[in-house]
Chain A
């Protein structure tokens, strides 16, 4: 399960942040980043992403064949085995998609690995960035799984944020519905 999910708009502003940290004793006294810190973190991530895509190794620049870019499909099984499954907004069936898909982010940062956790970035064709921070403690979660999760979050965004008449584009997301759906989705991982 990811520790946190962030949504960054195309101009590099943080529009959504959610922590999924289990309540532990050690968390109590840890310095939580303020919303201002998170805003700075998001825009730094945005610009680092841009710089990274400018710094492509020469060998890859000269390569004729483009790098393989297809993300394999990973089904997400609900551990609580909810039968029948809840409806997925405007999406029919028991999953949002069921085939491998193209990763739009070809030369930007896809993941940052640290001692404690790994940051994964998924970028849409419209410039929206979805970021997941995953603790290294869970060894079943790799880039493919997270990319599958982030595309599902993008599906949620397209349903519960884009179809909200009270949401203005590029502004922070304050949708309870999106919140709950996201939480349920992340819990499945």
Chain B
């Protein structure tokens, strides 16, 4: 019982910590600069791949992956969070700390699977897709913010959580919410750095 209450206290402090790091420990730039840079990358990829949107999705994912495996160091250096012992903790750390620090938003965590190994993030104000309207031919196939999936996959892999990350719905495609799903495949026990137990 006591562990439960301390658990919820820790979750609250995660939120406070995320906000503190974002507010006092992180340099800011104009979000529009970021949005427009990402927009130009996606539009250039669409041209390069001759509007083969499956390839664009794949390329965005792998770009994100390469960002994620490096970005995790920045996240850990800024927060010094201890290892998450389960996916519930991981989901809180992602939504309340990671998204807050890097994108200044707090996605809602929902739809936990019964085994608690998969969850969804509802991204209401996605800064990547401001000013964006998908062209007709891209509506069906292109996941505009697919780079986010790659980033999460790469970052989680570096802390030994082998996950699948994909988009379920996107407001740009006419859905009600933008929903991103994260599913834990397995914890790479052998690769956890020695000295943490």
Question: Residues of A at under 8 Å CB distance from B?
Answer: 10, 49-50, 53, 87, 89-93, 96-98, 101-102, 104-109, 123-128, 151, 154-155, 157-159, 162-163, 169
Contact = CB atoms under 8 A, between A and B. Distances in A.
Given A93-B24, A93-B25, A158 B195 contact: no
Given A151-B80, A158-B73, A162-B73, A126 B196 contact: no
Nearest to B192: A127
Range of interface residues on B (Cβ < 8 Å)? 20 to 34
A154 B77 contact: yes
A90 B26 contact: yes
A185 B105 CA distance: 32
B27 A91 contact: yes
A102 B80 contact: yes
Interface string B180-191: 000000000001
B197 A106 contact: yes
Interface stretch (B64-72, B136-144, B163-171): B64-72
Interface of B: 24-28, 69-74, 76-78, 80-83, 158-159, 191, 193-197
A161 to B, nearest CB: 8
B76 A158 contact: yes
Given A108-B194, A125-B159, A126-B193, A92 B76 contact: no
The 3 closest A-B pairs by CB, nearest first: A108-B195, A127-B193, A101-B80
B74 A102 contact: no
Contact of B195 (A53, A89, A101, A159): A53
A97 to B, nearest CB: 7
A162 B193 contact: no
B27 A90 contact: yes
A99 to B, nearest CB: 8
Q: Is the interface of A mostly helix, strand, loop or mixed?
A: loop
Contact of A162 (B27, B71, B80, B195): B71
Given A53-B197, A108-B194, A163-B70, A126 B76 contact: yes
B163 to A, nearest CB: 16
B73 A126 contact: yes
Contacts of A98: 24
Nearest to A87: B27
Contacts of A93: 24-25
Contacts of A10: 193
Contacts of B78: 91, 97, 155, 158
Contacts of A108: 194-195
A157 B73 contact: yes
B25 A49 contact: no
B157 to A, nearest CB: 10
Contacts of A89: 27
Contacts of B82: 102, 104
A53 B197 CA distance: 9
9 contacts: A53-B194, A92-B28, A93-B25, A104-B82, A125-B81, A151-B77, A154-B76, A163-B70, A169-B70
Interface centre among A49, A92, A101, A159 (most CB of B within 10 A): A92
B193 A92 contact: no
Contacts of B158: 126
Contact of B159 (A49, A92, A126): A126
Nearest to A88: B27
Contacts of A155: 77-78
A56 to B, nearest CB: 9
Contacts of A123: 193, 195
